[in-house]
Amino acid sequence: MTFTKRTILGALAAGMGYAALSLPVQAQQRITINIASSHPTANIWVWAMKNALQTEVDRILKEGGGKFVVNWREAYGGTLYKFTDTRAAVADGIADIGMVGTVWEGAAMPLQNVTYFAPFATDNHELLIEVFDKLTAEVPELAKGWDSQNMVYLSSLITDSYDIYANFPVTKLEDLQNRRINAPGTSANWLTGTGSTPVDGALTTYYTNIQTGVTQGALSFASGIQPTRVYEVAPNLTKVGIGAMYFGGIAANKAFFNKLPKEVQDAIKTAGKTTSKKHGEYVTQRSTAALTEMKAAGLKVAELPEAEKAKWVKNLPNIVDPWIKANGEPAKKVLKAYFAELRARGVKPLRNWDEGL
């Protein structure tokens, strides 16, 4: 076949036409986001990241015209960092977006731990998410806790109510004496006066701790215990109702976030708000199903008698006072704001930790 100048020019013109038609596709920008956690995807917090935050960001960007597409690089299950390093991993940019467990950050982010210093307040975890989304947006001291750590707060993470999972039954407070119980971070305070010894840890360590005799049980929650199969070595659940807890949040590295196009920033922020709600709904579903599944597998469930529970609450020392003294007026402000929000929603805490402030 002989190519004439006319056919060559015609082919070039046609190619340029096709290129012009494909310009919108070529203009689409792909943005890589490294998203990571210390826990596996079966965990309730990581579920929120993978199945709510990521899918919402993708949906918002697509419906906004598809100019930007996110390439998610997932590093779940502790492949980048362990539970002791969640804050540092996001703050230092090891992860662009990550799960941050403020429960393990009592020194660096003390105000975020307010619920752990005020137990027996509420077991309504969906309500707790609403409260902390609102408080983090409206109380400067809480917002500063994230900003000062080079992080942009996206979404609240909570637990369902804490109870006792152990390899021995608990029918009265005396049963806890001389026992070693896993109690993460500041939750160790809840065991004060019970005669037991708190041992730090996380859902990723409880099974081995109990199996090897390092501990004999854990203070934890159904939606976390079931996927980690801790009930296999701790087949006794005593419902105490210590309460749902604000665990931390999903956050973005601030330096990374600030370099993103505004459209992508807005999509991530909006997705974060939706993630809070979906996370709460999922925890409700998961905690209910988890109890059913664990009981079917042999978990024995009992309620701590009301008189024993009242004794526990009453005999707790003023565990919030050292936290207030260490953190001053900001701590007072956060605690009062927290309890004000609870009461505004009809909650009656079993102990008024803000009394006298």
Tens digits of residue pLDDT in 202-241: 888 999 999 999 999 999 999 999 999 999 999 999 999 9
Average pLDDT (94-99) is 98
Look at phi and psi of residue 346 and say left if phi exceeds 0, alpha if psi is from -120 to 50, else beta: left
Q: Are 204 and 228 in contact (CB under 8 A)?
A: yes
Three-state SS for 155? strand
Annotated domain spans of the chain: 30-158+246-288, 162-244+299-344
User: What is the per-residue pLDDT for 254?
Assistant: 98
Find out whether 230 and 210 touch, Cβ atoms under 8 Å: yes
Identify the CA nearest to 43 among candidates 283, 345, 215: 283
3-state secondary structure of 1: coil
> Quick check: do 30-158+246-288 and 162-244+299-344 share a fold?
yes
What is the pLDDT, as a whole number, of residue 185? 81
Q: Does position 6 have pLDDT exceeding 70, yes or no?
A: no
Per-residue model confidence (pLDDT) at position 93: 98
Task: Compute the chain's Rg from CA coordinates.
Answer: 25
Q: pLDDT by residue (tens digit) across 130-178?
A: 999 999 999 999 999 999 999 999 999 999 999 999 999 999 999 999 9
Angle at alpha carbon of residue 246, lines to 126 and 196, rounded to 5°: 120
Q: Assess whether pLDDT exceeds 50 at residue 7.
A: no
**CATH architecture assigned to 30-158+246-288:** 3-Layer(aba) Sandwich (3.40)
Predicted confidence (pLDDT) per residue in 8-23, tens digit? 334 434 444 433 334 4
DSSP string, 217-284: EEEE-HHHHHHHTGGGT--EEEEEEEE--EEEEEEEEHHHHHHS-HHHHHHHHHHHHHHHHHHHHHHH
- Residue 10 is predicted with a pLDDT of 42
Helices 54-63 and 262-296, packing angle to 10 deg: 140
Q: How confident is the model at residue 27 (pLDDT cuts 50, 70, 90)?
A: confident
What local confidence, expressed as pLDDT, does residue 186 receive?
Answer: 84
Residue 4 has pLDDT above 50, yes or no: no
CATH 3.40.50.2000 fits domain 162-244+299-344: no
pLDDT of 30: 97
- C-alpha distance from residue 70 to each of 53, 258, 278 (Å): 12, 16, 21
C-alpha to C-alpha distance for 192 and 200, rounded to whole angstroms: 14
Residues 151 and 101 sit within 8 Å (Cβ to Cβ): no
> What burial class does residue 12 get, using C-beta atoms within 10 Å of its C-beta: 0-12 exposed, 13-18 middle, 19+ buried?
exposed
Residue type, 279: H
Q: State the average pLDDT for the chain.
A: 92
- Identify which of 60, 107, 102 has the alpha carbon closest to the alpha carbon of residue 251: 102
Whether 55 has a pLDDT exceeding 60, the answer reads: yes
Task: Quote the crossing angle between the two packed helices 125-138 and 140-147, to the nearest 10°.
Answer: 80
Q: pLDDT over 70 for what percent of the chain?
A: 93
286-342 pLDDT, tens per residue? 999 999 999 999 999 999 999 999 999 999 999 999 999 999 999 999 999 999 999
Whether residue 171 contacts residue 178, with contact meaning beta carbons closer than 8 Å, is answered with no
